[in-house]
Each structure stands twice: as C-alpha cells, then as structure tokens.
Amino acid sequence: MPNFFLEDPLTVGTLVPFPKETAHHAQKVLRLKDKDSVNVWNGDGQYRSAQLVFEENKVAAQILSLLPKATNARIQVEILQALPEGDKMDWIIEKCCEVGVSGFWPVQAKRSVVKLNGDRLEKRQQHWQRVAISACSQSGQASLPTLQNTARLSDALESITEKYPNALLWWLSPHATQWTHEVFFQNIGMAAAAATASPGTTPASPPQVVIAIGPEGGWAPEEEHMALQAGFKPVKLATQVLRTETAALYVTAQIQAWDLLKGLR
C-alpha cells in the first residue's frame, strides 16, 4: 500500500489536496488511478486509510479511517551527528529513520570536511527533511523525527541539556573505558531499584538517549572536553572502529535489541 506524507490535518471525512510534487509522484511514477486505496500520514504518529480523488491534473485524498497506532519504541534515541563528507548524511538520516530514531542534531565539528552556511546550508536542511519524510513513508514510520538546524557543537550541547535534563548522554569514543551495553543496563537497574523502593509506582524505562558521533577525523580534544563538561559520558561502541555513517545505525539497533531483551515493551 503506497504511503504519502501530507502536512495538513488529516481528519476523517475530509478531502485533503496533494502538493504538486506528491501528486506527480502518485500519477506519473506510481501510476495510481482515481479511487485507488492509499495510506496517508502527517507525522503525528498515526496513519489514515484514504482513497485517491483525481480531478483533471489535481490529486486529493479522501480520508476514510484511522489505522491502528504503531507501538513506538519506549526508548527514544536522538543522534548528535558531526557533519560527514559527501552525501553520507543522507544515508545516516534515511537508515536511522527506518529504524525509528526520534531526532537528529547536525553539528559543524572542527574536523568536519563539509562546511555549510547561508543558502547552501538552508537547501541542505530542506533536502534532509525530504530524505526523512521519504524514509519514513517507505518504512511505515508514523512519527516524523525532528531535524534540528545545523549548529555549532556548543549551541547543540546547551540545547540538548536544557531539553533533556534526564537523558542518557553518550559520547562515542574508541578510547572510552565503558561499553555502551554496560552503561545502558546500569541505568535500567537503577530505574528498577528506584521503582521497587516506591511501592505502587511503575518501573521507568531509561529516558531519551542522545548519542554524539564525530566526523571522519574524530572529535577534537577541546570538543570532547566541552561535551564532558555538559554531562556526556564517553562510551565505547565496538571492538572495531566504525565509520561515522555506520555508528548511528549500529548503536540504535543495539538499543532496540536490548529494549526487547529486557521486556520493556
């Protein structure tokens, strides 16, 4: 069943027009016809079933019903990603959207090869947003991850610590002494112990996990110092050194597997 993203409210019984590019994709690429069944979503966490309505060169969706909400991951993963070279950021956003990452924080690191500013940065941000929408539509994700504006590391760290005061903050480093799984399960144990000490409370799963991933050349020492001052904890991800475009997908898959193993759903 084709999935289409529409920014408008998707109230059952309403007719919602497709933007020009979306209409072209439905008609010319997918070769859909009038009255064909599709699913539509707007990032609020729920898909709707709909029927296409063709009028001349315009396309709209007649919203028929709400579809069952998907079970979202209990642990929200956000990625603070230093800008990689080339189109690697496209790949990172695409694959991480497919596996359910809830947010991205692109940062201009000292050793980032790519330097973006002005119109070029604005166009790249818009492109990444389209990549995220396409990846979610393809994979059936009903919640659109937040894509923060590309910022300096210092500004991103400040925003993250203000927005997520209780999050697990991980700074991926091959020189760290603790593994990601050690830190993860320690925090699950602490949450369970706290719930046991307070009868009648529901055991709390770990809060959001924000994972900082450096560029190809790694983080500069002053950047790591800045992150540690902000509360990030150095953690080691794997025995091998992973490429910057691999790390986010790898660690997100790990966290989701641990979530399932601990029966958190």
We report the CATH number of the domain holding residue 118 as: 3.40.1280.10
Pair 7, 123 in one domain: no
Q: How far are the Cα atoms of 6, 137, 152, 205, 249 from residue 164, in angstroms, in the given order?
A: 29, 27, 18, 15, 21
Provide the strand spans (E) within 148-195. Answer: 151-152, 168-172
pLDDT at 114: 83
Instruction: Determine the Cα–Cα distance for residues 83 and 97; give it in Å rounded to an integer.
Output: 17
Structural domain of 113: 77-261
Cα of 117 vs its chain's centroid, Å: 23
CB contact set of 21 (below 8 Å; sequence gap of 6+): none
Does 245 share its domain with 114?
yes
What are residue 74's DSSP bridge partners?
A: none
Q: How many residues does the chain have?
A: 265
The pTM of this model reads 0.85
In contact, 100 and 141? CB cutoff 8 Å = yes
The CATH number linked to 7 is: 2.40.240.20
Q: What is the pLDDT of residue 205?
A: 47
Residue 237 placed within a domain = yes
Residue 72 lies in a domain: no
Give the chain's domain count.
2
What residues in the chain have per-residue pLDDT under 70?
71-73, 188-207, 262-265
* Same domain? 183 vs 121: yes
Q: Does residue 114 form part of some domain?
A: yes
SS3 assignment, position 45: coil
Contact by Cβ (8 Å): 85, 48: no
**DSSP labels, 165-183:** TT-EEEEE-TT-SSBHHHH
Q: What is the pLDDT of residue 188?
A: 63
Q: Are residues 106 and 161 in the same domain?
A: yes
Q: Is residue 191 part of a domain?
A: yes
Sheet holding 48-55, edge to edge: 3-5, 37-41, 48-55, 58-66, 15-17
